[in-house]
Amino acid sequence: MANDKTTTSQNVISVNLDNTPILYTDNVFITTNDDGVVLDVTQKLATSNQVRIVSRIGMSRAHAKKFTAEMGRLLALTEGKSRTGSKE
């Protein structure tokens, strides 16, 4: 089994690379209500106008706000760089 470990400021993240693939996305459909947010992560199917959901991610509205703030910060910080995170 191939494993990868990434250390963040607060957590050590261990990923089994054999059964945790990176799923490519063409689109993300976002649904919200007073309680939370659902992200439907999709891929376009070949030559059709259909998409398939490859992952559904749900979170609270508070978590979604933290997620978007951190994503924006990370994208700004890594603008022009080819890699994020640290390798040990």
DSSP 8-state code for residue 32: E
Q: Which residues pair with 11 in a beta bridge?
A: none
Query: Would you list the domain boundaries of the chain?
Result: 23-77
* Other CB atoms within 10 A of residue 33 CB: 8
User: In which element (H, E) is residue 61 found?
Assistant: helix 61-77
* Per-residue pLDDT tens digits for 14-73: 888 888 888 889 999 999 999 999 999 999 988 888 999 999 999 999 999 999 999 999
pTM: 0.69
Contact 74, 66 (CB under 8 A): no
